[in-house]
Chains A and B, each alone.
Chain A
């Protein structure tokens, strides 16, 4: 049986969910929540967009040239 998960509890789990670090039982509960909650689904999508963006830029070495300058 999947217990009801409110947004507050779900929000605590979103990062671990995106990072694939959530225990299976919590993952099932959260996926159920995400099916009807657009707000939490949007947050998950944003977290994934951030991850994708970081990986895209990291794939092009030299994408972050200004870090050193900021310390000068």
Chain B
């Protein structure tokens, strides 16, 4: 008996079949793949807010986010025939969005040399915040000011760390879903989240200033 697809849970590609995909979602995908414009519009309407929101959070630019959203849906429709239900449609769209955003960031970097400093270089220069945490008993205080500082510190994170953190904290994805979205192992997701949070906490506590 096929196991019904549950929201966002992700399976190994070899362990799934179309029977795992929610029947309504499967039907929508089939209609889209057949060129049904109403179905395509429905798919866009269902996911466009999520796609634009994630693109905005990853790129930080409204025009770029809108542009990327269009690219994402073009990519979705071009590759829909390859979708086999290895994740929920939503998670699959997340994956395409992250890939497109990463490509765009790489494109920017190739043309405009990045001023980002790697975490290793940063630690080499300023020390490892984790090793100093017990020396400084400071605590982060929740406030609008703190929120703004957190977001500024997010700018300095490497793309993959920032993406993992946004997918977890903003979009509420589980580790398993983030792993599928970013095409990495769950352990890699955990380590990216750990490093991102260590860096943010260190920055906010002023350990690197």
A interface residues, Cβ below 8 angstroms from B: 15-16, 19, 21, 39, 42-43, 45-47, 49-58, 61-68, 70-72
Bin the interface of chain B by size: 35 or more
| Contact mask for chain B residues 177-198; partner A; CB cutoff 8 A; 1 contact, 0 none | 0000000000000100110010
A55 surroundings in chain B (CB, below 8 A)? 169-170
Contact partner of A51 (CB less than 8 A), chosen from B114, B133, B169, is B169
Q: Chain B interface secondary structure, helix, strand, loop or mixed?
A: helix
- A71 and B108 contact, CB distance less than 8 A: yes
- B134 and A61 contact, CB distance less than 8 A: no
A-B contact pairs, 11 of them (CB 8 A): A45-B140, A47-B201, A49-B146, A53-B147, A54-B151, A54-B154, A54-B166, A54-B170, A57-B148, A67-B58, A72-B112
- B134 and A56 contact, CB distance less than 8 A: no
Assembly CA distance A53 to B148 (angstroms) = 7
B151 surroundings in chain A (CB, below 8 A)? 53-54, 57, 63-64
| Contact mask for chain B residues 61-84; partner A; CB cutoff 8 A; 1 contact, 0 none | 110100000000000000000000
Assembly CA distance A45 to B25 (angstroms) = 39
A15 surroundings in chain B (CB, below 8 A)? 190, 193-194, 197
Least CB distance from B164 to A in Å reads: 11
Least CB distance from B135 to A in Å reads: 12
- Is B116 engaged at the interface, CB distance under 8 Å to the other chain? yes
B200 surroundings in chain A (CB, below 8 A)? 50
